[in-house]
Copies of this chain bind each other. A is one copy, B any other.
Amino acid sequence: MADASRHDRTARQLRLLSDALDTGRLGPVRRLINTLSPAEIANLLESLPTPKRSLVWGLVDPEDDGEVLVHVGEDVRESLIAEMDADELVAAVEDLDIDDLADIAEDLPDQVIAEVLRSMDRENRDRLEQVLSFPEGSAGRLMNPDVVTVRADTTVDVVLRYLRLRGELPDHTDYLFVVSRRHQYLGRVSLSSLLTHETSTPINELIDDEQSAIPAGTSEREVANQFSDHDWVSAPVVDESNILLGRITIDDVVDIIREQAEHQALGAAGLGEDEDLFSPVGRAMRRRLVWLFVNLCTAFIAANVVGNFEGTIDKLVALAVLMPMVAGLGGNAGTQVLALTIRGLALGQVGASNVLILLWKELRVALFNGLLMGAVLGLIVYAWFRNPGLSLVIFVALTVNLLLAAMVGVTIPLLLRRMGFDPALGSGIFLTALTDSLGFFTFLGLATLVLME
């Protein structure tokens, strides 16, 4: 047990699985896989290169197929679905919860969806269609319509008898929802209050009406923020007339938070959060090319800046040696500001009311760091090239470039958002484009003014 704490479980499972696969005997592999939860199997499939992934996918218990499909990233899901025929797919997904089914519906062939809808009873079909009527990324799309409701004008005793008759509750039920005759949401009653109060207690004494319901149009980012701000396990979803439509549970919220995190981490480099570790080379190539071409264009702008100073460089080659330092340090300082601003935007902590104060703080940090680093760099350059003019130029250029980097780091994400783009996506490439061009321009421009006559 002490040992379990030191190793990472997924990495260990991956090692065991790889060893088992290497022996070539599939019995042990199958047994190993089927001790795991669907989410763990999903994680392992994502860790496997394509040929092994297909092999292992074939060994997963068909009962788990649907849940595994729900848990893998979109790219991997497509690759797994491509290996199944329509009958297998229908069998895999028809028993999924409505919210899970809605989650992967877009990746399923139309024929499979039609088949699944046909196999459902009227009530479930209506529910699925309602969930699918909400746009992806909204609370309505995330919710599960399977909700246990009670009425306010009853007692704990009546509710307990109803629950015993009803049997099993949906997963993550921590509250029952209290609704009016017209199914409007009135409040909630916790399971724990049902357990800790006398059976004669009227339900309306136990109602907690402080938690307001989530409107179905709310964005999933906002849903995630509300869950973590209020420590919810489940929350009701309502339409414009406050009619209860379903409920969102913490497990889906945890998935959203993980996806957002990956989005921010991969987005700055211009990758999507669904990027498959072992995606086919052709697909990976095409996706990366988009940003590399953007980068090619921005790099040309920087090269053009340098090109305008060819004459200056021709007279003093040391400038060519030093110019990448000014640009590179500006790029790194700017990346720090950028990361901080993007996080602030994602948390809603940066807005019109404080952006100028943030900029002012970052400019001061940049000024002091620029003066300090510039002085160090100037001294080293003096020791290297024995040219005091050159030292002065690099000192001033570095300070100016750090100031520009701070300005760019704060404004790029805000501008991207203002223009309707995702501030996390590709902002790193725009930032280095600007710090390179501005860095070269400041350094070579100053050198031309000061050192050439």
Contact = CB atoms under 8 A, between A and B. Distances in A.
Interface of A: 1-2, 4-6, 8-11, 14-15, 18-19, 37, 39-40, 43, 46-49, 138-139, 160, 163-164, 166-169, 171-174, 191-192, 194-198, 215, 217-219, 221-222, 225-231, 233, 240, 250-251, 253-255, 257-258, 260-262, 264-266, 268-271, 275, 277-278, 281, 284-285, 288-289, 291-293, 295-296, 299-300, 302-303, 306-307, 310, 313-314, 317-325, 327-329, 331-333, 335-336, 338-340, 342-344, 347-354, 357-358, 361, 364-365, 368-369, 372-373, 376-377, 380, 428-429, 432, 436, 440
A198 to B, nearest CB: 6
B339 A271 contact: yes
A285 B8 contact: no
A2 B164 contact: no
A9 B222 contact: yes
A238 B68 CA distance: 30
A257 B259 CA distance: 11
A163 B156 CA distance: 14
A427 to B, nearest CB: 12
Contact of A270 (B139, B195, B336, B342): B336
12 contacts: A14-B349, A37-B230, A43-B347, A47-B349, A172-B233, A261-B261, A265-B342, A266-B339, A269-B339, A284-B365, A302-B324, A324-B324
Copies in the complex: 2
Contacts of A296: 325, 329, 373, 376-377
A354 B18 CA distance: 9
Nearest to A334: B269
B436 A324 contact: yes
Nearest to A165: B196
Nearest to A288: B336
Given A169-B195, A288-B369, A324-B324, A257 B261 contact: yes
Contact of A429 (B332, B350, B372): B332
B4 A218 contact: yes
Nearest to A302: B324
The interface centre, meaning the residue of A1, A271, A314, A319 with most chain B CB atoms within 10 A of its CB, is A1
B269 A49 contact: no
Contacts of A160: 195
Nearest to A173: B192
A257 B299 CA distance: 36
A352 B19 CA distance: 11
A82 to B, nearest CB: 18
Contact of A432 (B191, B318, B332, B340): B332
B195 A195 contact: yes
B322 A303 contact: yes
A9 B325 contact: no
A196 B148 CA distance: 13
The interface centre, meaning the residue of A281, A320, A340, A364 with most chain B CB atoms within 10 A of its CB, is A320
B328 A432 contact: yes
Contacts of A357: 49, 278
B361 A49 contact: yes
